[in-house]
């Protein structure tokens, strides 16, 4: 991952309001307890025990219900060639789980259990989370059932070059083996994301924990359902990241806006578009691209290859790329 992107410190600002700046704006106080948020959110958190042929011990992970029909979101990397999946519900019932679909590129999987529990999970609204907000992770770290950890949001819309069309909520919540796929909750207990992994420092120091925002999780789950009505979403295939400030400066620019293309695999849609490593994407299908997170949003909204349009900066020139015209 790009070293310059791993900024681990949360940003906490205190703004002044009023003409004289004498009255501080109200800030969110630290809760005296997270018990109510945990009790609410734990109602849809589940533990997963995955039996894989050739492995002596089951893999342990976490997941969470996303509706009242038995649909469970979790991490795709947990399964491999899973032979049996046991789902542990909050009331300690055990049910067999079935993988309905999984997307290795986003590390999101959809499980199904029957009969479905009688709960209706609460999903947070996109954009409701703020830097500095408290969040909770519920999971099975080291097999310790229904464990909870708390922290604050350190960053939003984090994107890394080797994660393709995906972005993350960054927090300082302690995630451990067994947390993968579990829910990240806000201070009310609503689900804001799916816990993915932790970035560990170069000498083993605690790093940043990453969770996939719930709106992206729900979009991918919708695409994985057997009854999904639409065509598969196009995949660009290129690696990209934010434009490093010094790269922009060396190119004679006075801003670091856009998404920098890092690599273009052979045979990818990116190659068909004639993208090149080093291009800076500034617009896609009429949407301004100010950073790599904007390109992720544009790619998630992408539905058809025909009439796809990109605007890029290449060697100091602005170029329009398209699939149907076949030239740059």
Distance CA(62)–CA(81), nearest Å, equals 18
Q: Which of 97, 211, 86 is nearest to 151 (CA)?
A: 211
Beta bridge partners of 184: 137, 193
Q: Which of 67, 77, 146, 322 is catalytic?
A: 77
Q: How many CA atoms lie within 13 A of 320 on its CB side?
A: 7
DSSP 152-164: EEEEEEE--GGG-
Distance CA(106)–CA(164), nearest Å, equals 8
Active site residue 107: yes
Q: Are 87 and 79 in contact (CB under 8 A)?
A: no
Distance CA(59)–CA(56), nearest Å, equals 9
Q: Which of 107, 133, 172, 242 is catalytic?
A: 107
Sign, CA torsion 93/98/104/105: negative
Beta bridge partners of 98: 112
Q: Which of 309, 307, 304 is nearest to 320 (CA)?
A: 309
Burial classification of residue 216, based on how many CB atoms lie within 10 Å of its CB (0-12 exposed, 13-18 middle, 19 or more buried): buried
Q: Which of 180, 186, 241, 279 is catalytic?
A: 180
DSSP 66-93: -STTSEEEEEGGGTSS-SEEEEE-TTS-
Distance CA(80)–CA(78), nearest Å, equals 6
Q: Which of 311, 301, 308 is nearest to 261 (CA)?
A: 311
Active site residue 77: yes
Active site residues: 77, 107, 180
């Amino acid at each position: 991952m790009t070293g310059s992107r791993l900024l681990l410190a949360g940003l906490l600002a205190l703004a002044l309001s009023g003409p004289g700046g004498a009255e501080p704006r109200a800030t969110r106080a630290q809760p005296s307890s997270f018990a109510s948020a945990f009790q609410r959110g734990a109602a849809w958190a589940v533990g997963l025990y995955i039996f894989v042929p050739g492995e002596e011990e089951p893999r342990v992970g976490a997941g969470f219900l996303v509706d009242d029909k038995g649909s469970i979101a979790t991490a795709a990397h947990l399964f491999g060639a899973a032979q049996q999946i046991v789902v542990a519900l909050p009331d300690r019932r055990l049910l067999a789980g079935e993988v309905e679909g999984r997307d290795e590129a986003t590390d999101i999987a959809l499980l199904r259990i029957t009969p479905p529990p009688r709960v209706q999970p609460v999903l947070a609204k996109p954009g409701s989370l703020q830097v500095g907000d408290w969040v909770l992770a519920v999971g099975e770290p080291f097999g310790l059932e229904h464990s909870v950890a708390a922290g604050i949001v350190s960053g939003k819309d984090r994107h890394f070059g080797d994660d393709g069309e995906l972005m993350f909520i960054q927090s300082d919540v302690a995630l451990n083996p067994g947390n993968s796929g579990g829910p990240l909750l806000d201070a009310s207990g609503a689900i804001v994301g799916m816990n993915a992994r932790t970035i560990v420092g170069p000498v083993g120091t605690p790093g940043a924990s990453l969770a996939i925002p719930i709106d992206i999780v729900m979009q991918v789950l919708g695409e994985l359902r057997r009854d999904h009505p639409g065509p598969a979403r196009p995949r660009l295939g290129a690696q990209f990241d934010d434009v490093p400030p010094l790269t922009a400066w060396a190119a004679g620019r006075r801003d670091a806006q856009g998404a920098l293309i890092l690599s273009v695999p052979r045979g990818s849609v990116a190659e068909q578009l004639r993208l090149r490593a080093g291009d800076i994407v500034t617009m896609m299908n009429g949407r301004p691209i100010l950073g790599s997170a904007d390109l992720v949003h544009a790619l998630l909204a992408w539905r058809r290859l025909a009439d796809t349009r990109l605007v890029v900066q290449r060697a100091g020139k602005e170029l329009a790329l398209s699939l149907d015209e076949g030239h740059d």
